Amino acid sequence: FTTDLNDNKKMIIKNTEYSGGDITNSGSYITQNIFLLERIDAVTIYHNDGGVSFDTSRSGYPSKVQSNFNGVPLDFDSDGYKELLVSTPYMMESYTVFTMHWNGADWDTTSIEVIQNQLHPIVTLLEYGGHYFPDIIPAELSVAEAGAVHGDTVLVDIIIDEVPSGLSSIDLSFAGFHGKLTMVDIIADGSSLMGSNGWAIQYNDTEDLLITAAAGAQDIDQSGKLFSLKLAVNDTVASQFVPVEIVHYLGNDNLEEYIATSGGVQVVWGPTANFISDTTTGYLPLTISFTDTSEIGTYDINQWVWDFGDDATAEGTNVQHTYYQDGNYTVALVVTDEFGLSDTLTMVDYITALHPVYPQAGFSASLTSGDYPLTVAFTDTSQAGTYAITNWIWDFGNDSTGIGTDVSMSYHRPGVYDVGLTVIDEYSLSDTLIKYSYIQVDTIFGDIDYNEI
């Protein structure tokens, strides 16, 4: 406290602090720094937020302080207003008190009040007109939480949630993350308060403390993101939460009160995609079974998406797909875990689908000519292609047909007959062989070609 002098006469000021007990007992207070003065003209109070108030005028001989215990202003009657503790070593009839309001930049006088003194008080508790000394409003700061995969970098936002007054400089120090996260840079772009207000920021990263200092010509007077710490997650860090803590704050060179909420980085390991198949090469139609062999990271895998390279996709751990066109196909698997982390494995030209070899029809006959009635045994000599032959269809040229590998036919009319065989494999690939004029059935009456009749 300081005071104005009146006619160059000395005044008395006491620094009185409540130490416990009966508030009306002088023994409950500790008085320090006593100055003898003849008259107090006014008491000027300098507040931590930068405000200056003159709240007592021509009050006789008092000394006054804001009541406090262990540095905390007291509200004796719990009505929300802080009382003033006035010590009166001499008799005085009244106090004249100005009620003032801090508007953020200056003090406004709202009322003037005369308070009558009690009889011979040693201590008087003054509370008047709803006036109370402004509380020291601490800055409220917080560190955001972010997630990152080991080996990656991550941005951690530093936020001011409560601005006690206009700030032209802010010093912050951080700890708790060294050895697991490495400081890369401070990001103060247009999305941050410091960046949008054109502040300059410097930092010094020591072995166990990150020290930052920032200032700007344009005050920060609103809540929001101050800046972001760009941190690198070390490759060897296991899955864990790494804290980032604010351990020091200084605003405007004189504002030290703050409340900080810690945040940090949740380090996670992502999944690793992998798969195998029962084969990679085959003939059309080519059916392949794919099996997921991916490795989980911090969290379980809950999604598998397959791309088979022929515009077909599937979901699930173990899937099956059939290729119907020959060619080389690239197969990809994307796995995603419960945290949303994903990994992709792409196997280029992993599948080779080949066009199959068709079967080749062939047959022989026990004899190819003779007098009628002529019985001929036919034997299949076809060559299978890629797949086994499953069907044999015969045409004997006399409106008769047969099926099977080995068949026989009796010709009861003379003539010349064409014989055909169609073979079909298990995938419906087929081939046909026709032997023209293959069977000659004779008669004593001469040759007659019944194929021409």
Tens of pLDDT, residue by residue over 110-153, are 667 665 554 434 344 444 333 344 456 789 999 999 989 888 99
Determine the pLDDT at residue 307: 98
Tens of pLDDT, residue by residue over 310-335, are 999 999 999 999 999 999 999 999 99
Q: What is the mean pLDDT of residues 257-273?
A: 94
Domain end among 94, 126, 158: 126
Residue 410 lies in a domain: yes
Q: What percent of the chain has pLDDT over 70?
A: 69
For residues 239 and 147, state if they share a domain. yes
For residues 11 and 121, state if they share a domain. yes
Contacts of 366 (CB under 8 A, 6+ apart): 376, 377, 378, 379
Determine the pLDDT at residue 78: 57
As a whole number of angstroms, the distance between CA 378 and CA 363 comes to: 7
SS3 state of residue 34: strand
Asked whether 92 and 117 are in contact (CB, 8 A), the reply is: yes
For residues 371 and 432, state if they share a domain. yes
Residue 357 lies in a domain: no
Residue 212 lies in a domain: yes
For residues 389 and 429, state if they share a domain. yes
What CATH number has the domain bearing residue 416? 2.60.40.10
Residue 216 lies in a domain: yes
As a whole number of angstroms, the distance between CA 411 and CA 403 comes to: 17
Q: How many helices (H) and strands (E) does the chain have?
A: 1, 39
Tens of pLDDT, residue by residue over 337-363, are 998 889 999 999 999 999 999 999 999
DSSP string, 354-379: EPPPPPB--EEES-SEEESSEEEEEE
Tens of pLDDT, residue by residue over 267-291, are 999 899 999 999 999 999 899 999 9
For residues 21 and 119, state if they share a domain. yes
Q: What is the mean pLDDT of residues 364-389?
A: 95
Instruction: Report the chain's mean pLDDT, rounded to a whole number.
Output: 81
As a whole number of angstroms, the distance between CA 147 and CA 264 comes to: 9
| Tokens representing residue 34 in the block | 């006593």
Determine the pLDDT at residue 116: 58
Contacts of 203 (CB under 8 A, 6+ apart): 183, 186, 210, 211, 212, 213
Q: Please say if the pLDDT value at position 92 is more than 70.
A: no
Residue span of the structural domain in which 201 resides: 139-268
DSSP string, 85-151: EEE-SS--SEEEEEEEEE-SSSEEEEEEEEEEPPSS-SEEEE--TT--PPP---EEEEE-EEEEETT
Torsion of CA 38, 43, 46, 51, to 10 degrees: -160
Domain end among 240, 268, 296: 268
Residue 449 lies in a domain: no
Tens of pLDDT, residue by residue over 5-35, are 344 444 444 456 667 777 666 677 666 543 3
As a whole number of angstroms, the distance between CA 69 and CA 28 comes to: 11
What CATH number has the domain bearing residue 163? 2.60.40.680
Residue 420 lies in a domain: yes
Torsion of CA 353, 354, 358, 359, to 10 degrees: -80
**Cα separation of the two ends of the chain:** 138
As a whole number of angstroms, the distance between CA 31 and CA 33 comes to: 7
For residues 118 and 160, state if they share a domain. no
For residues 79 and 11, state if they share a domain. yes
Asked whether 374 and 439 are in contact (CB, 8 A), the reply is: yes
How many C-beta atoms lie closer than 10 Å to residue 117's C-beta? 17
Q: In terms of Cα–Cα distance, which of 413, 400, 408, 402 is closest to 373?
A: 413
Beta bridge partners of 162: 140
Residue 447 lies in a domain: no
- What's the structural domain count of the chain? 4
Tens of pLDDT, residue by residue over 199-245, are 999 999 999 999 999 999 999 999 999 999 999 999 888 889 999 99
Domain end among 236, 268, 300: 268
The pLDDT confidence band at residue 91, using thresholds 50, 70 and 90, is very low
For residues 341 and 369, state if they share a domain. no
Residue 375 lies in a domain: yes
Tens of pLDDT, residue by residue over 168-186, are 999 999 999 999 999 999 9
The pLDDT confidence band at residue 451, using thresholds 50, 70 and 90, is very low
